[in-house]
Copies of this chain bind each other. A is one copy, B any other.
Amino acid sequence: MKPVIESVCEKYDLLPLKENGYQITKEFLLSVIEICVEFIKKSNDRSTKVLDFHQPDQLMQVFDFAIPDEPQNLDQLLVDCKDTLKYQVKTAHPHYFNQLSCGLDIVSLAGEWLTAAANTNMFTYEIAPVFILMEHFVLKKMREIIGFPNGDSILAPGGAISNLYAVIVARHAMFPEYKTKGLKALPQLVLFTSEHSHYSTKGAGATCGFGTDNVVEVPCDFNGRMIPDELERLVKQAIAKGHRPFFVNCTCGTTVLGAFDPINPLADICEKYNMWLHVDAAWGGGCLLSPKHKHKLAGIERARSVTWNPHKLMGSLLQCSTGLLIDCNQMCADYLFQQDKHYDVRFDTGDKVIQCGRHNDIFKLWLMWRSKGVSGYVKHIDHLFDMTQYMVKKIKEKSDQFYLIWEEPECVNVCFWYIPKRLRNVAHTREREEELGRITAKLKGRMMNAGTLMISYQPLGDKPNFFRNIISNPGVKEKDIDFMLAELDRLGHDL
C-alpha cells in the first residue's frame, strides 16, 4: 500500500526530497511510465481494438471523475491512470485513420516527456534559454525550406491561432493605425478564402472584428482548389462597394479533400491589388520536405505568411503549429520586458505573441527532426503518399464496394462512399448518393461499436456524408489498408 500524501510539506518532503521520498517518487513515476509503455505497446499491436466505445452516460457510470475531499493515495492514482487509458482511443493504432494527426512518434514522445520535466514558459531567454534558441533555429530552418530569406516566426497553439496571427500581422503591417484607433477608423477591410478552406479564417474575421460577411468565400473547382478568376471577380466586386480587399488565404491541403490552391496565380492577383497573401499549409506543409511532393506548393515563397503544423504530416506530438511570418505583432509590456537585462533580449519572444504563458512546443519537434535528419523526413513523407496511392489503387479495384469521390487525391485524404450489397450494380443517382450518405453514418456507428477501425466522415457542398480517410501515421502499411477495406465490408455489407 503506497502512502497518501497528506499535507503539502509532507508531500514535498516525500516527493522527492527525503531519502526514501526520492525512492517513492521514482517508483511512482516509473509505474506511470510502465502504464504508458504498455498502452503504446497495445496501440501498436494490430490484434487489439482501436477503442472500447462507451456512450457519455455509460462512461460517467464506470469512471470516477469526481474531485474527492480527501487525498487519494498513490495506488489509487495509478488505478486512475490505467482506467483513463483503458477508455481512451488509441490514436497511435495503425487502424486509426480518423484525424489529420494520427500515430505516435516515440522520439517526439520522449521529447514531450522531457519538456514536462523542464516545465518552463516560452517567454524569455532568461527562463528557457535552450528552448528559445531551439525555436529560433528550427523556425529559421522552416523559413529556409519555404524560401523566406528573412522573417520571423512563432509557435502557436494550433493552426487556427496561427491563421489568426497571420490576419493580425497583415492588418498591423498594412494599417498600423488600427491598433490604437480600432477598425472604425479604417475602410471596411475584406478577406478572401476558398469555400473549402478551414473555418479558422472566418473565425479570425469574427474575432478581429471584420465580420464574417467580410470574409468572402471564393468558389472552388471540382477538385476543391480556389478558382483565381473567381477571386479576382470578387475582389473587384468588393472594391466597387467601396471596401478594401487586403487579405487572401490560400489553402495548401484543405481539411476534407486535401486540395492545394494554386499559389502563383493567387500571388499575381495579390500583387495586382496590393493584398497580403497568406498560405495556410497547416496540413500540406509537410510536402515541402519531399523533393517528389514539394511542387504542390510551388510559389509558396511569394507568400507573406505561412501556417505549417508539424503535428500533422510531420507526425510530431500534438500540438506543434508554426506561424512563419515577415512581420510581428508587438504589444508594449515594459513591466515584463526590461531592456536593461544583462543579456541580448532579441531572443525574448514574449512580446511578439498574443499569449503570455506559452507552452514549450519546440523540443518534441527538434528531437524528432534530429532523429530522422533531413533524409529521414523525405522517406517519411514519401511513405505516406505511397500508402495513399496504394489505397486509391485498391479502392479502384473494388469499385463495386467503394465509390471514390475524387479520383486523384492531391494529399493523403481519400474520400469515398462504402457501397453495401443492396446498392451495388445500381445506377449512381442523387437518390443513391443520399442513401450512401445515410449508410456512411450508420457504418461509422458500427465501426465505433466494433472498435476495430476509425475513419471520419462529413458532408461537403452538395455531397452528403462520405468517409474521409487520412494516412498520416507512418506506421501504416499495405496490410493495414487491406484490413481497412475488408473490415468496412465485413461491418457494412448488409446495411
Contact = CB atoms under 8 A, between A and B. Distances in A.
Given A120-B89, A213-B180, A357-B160, A106 B376 contact: no
Interface stretch (A107-115, A262-270, A397-405, A483-491): A107-115
Contacts of A237: none
Interface string A324-347: 000000011111101011111001
A80 B366 CA distance: 10
Interface stretch (A97-105, A292-300, A388-396, A425-433): A97-105
A88 B121 CA distance: 12
Interface string A5-20: 1111101100111000
Nearest to A374: B69
A56 B106 contact: no
Given A29-B113, A120-B318, A182-B209, 8 more contacts: A7-B376, A8-B474, A109-B116, A158-B355, A182-B183, A182-B205, A203-B354, A309-B357
Contact of A117 (B39, B160, B206): B39
Contact of A67 (B12, B40, B207, B370): B370
Contact of A106 (B15, B104, B199): B15
A198 B350 CA distance: 13
B17 A113 contact: no
A29 B37 contact: yes
Contacts of A474: 8-9, 11-12
Interface stretch (A126-134, A226-234, A271-279, A416-424): A126-134
A180 B380 CA distance: 42
A214 B184 CA distance: 11
Interface stretch (A146-154, A245-253, A406-414, A456-464): A456-464
A185 interface: yes
B7 A338 contact: no
B159 A157 contact: no
Interface in A84-102: 84-85, 87-89, 91-92, 98-99, 101
Given A161-B355, A182-B211, A383-B9, A134 B371 contact: no
Contacts of A376: 5-8, 11, 71
Nearest to A383: B8
Given A128-B89, A335-B458, A210 B188 contact: no
Contacts of A203: 331, 354
Interface string A60-96: 1001011111111010110011011101110110000
A343 B35 CA distance: 29
A332 B123 CA distance: 33
Contacts of A340: 441, 465
Contacts of A128: 88-89
Nearest to A456: B126
Given A68-B373, A318-B120, A110 B22 contact: no
Contact of A183 (B72, B123, B183): B183
How often does this chain occur in the complex, in copies?
Answer: 2
B101 A357 contact: yes
B110 A81 contact: yes
Nearest to A127: B89
10 contacts: A16-B44, A26-B37, A29-B106, A59-B133, A72-B370, A77-B370, A87-B129, A182-B205, A183-B210, A183-B211
B56 A125 contact: yes
Among all A-B residue pairs, the 7 with the closest Cβ atoms: A182-B211, A209-B209, A158-B357, A157-B157, A342-B445, A36-B117, A12-B475
Nearest to A309: B357
Residue of A32, A160, A357 with highest tally of chain B CB at under 10 A: A357
A417 to B, nearest CB: 15
B370 A76 contact: yes
Nearest to A345: B56
A136 B16 CA distance: 31
A114 B85 contact: yes
A450 interface: no
A170 interface: no
A354 B167 CA distance: 14
A211 B181 contact: yes
Given A199-B331, A214-B182, A357 B208 contact: no
A198 B354 CA distance: 12
A112 B457 CA distance: 30
B354 A448 contact: no
A47 interface: no
Nearest to A474: B8
A355 B354 CA distance: 13
A194 to B, nearest CB: 13
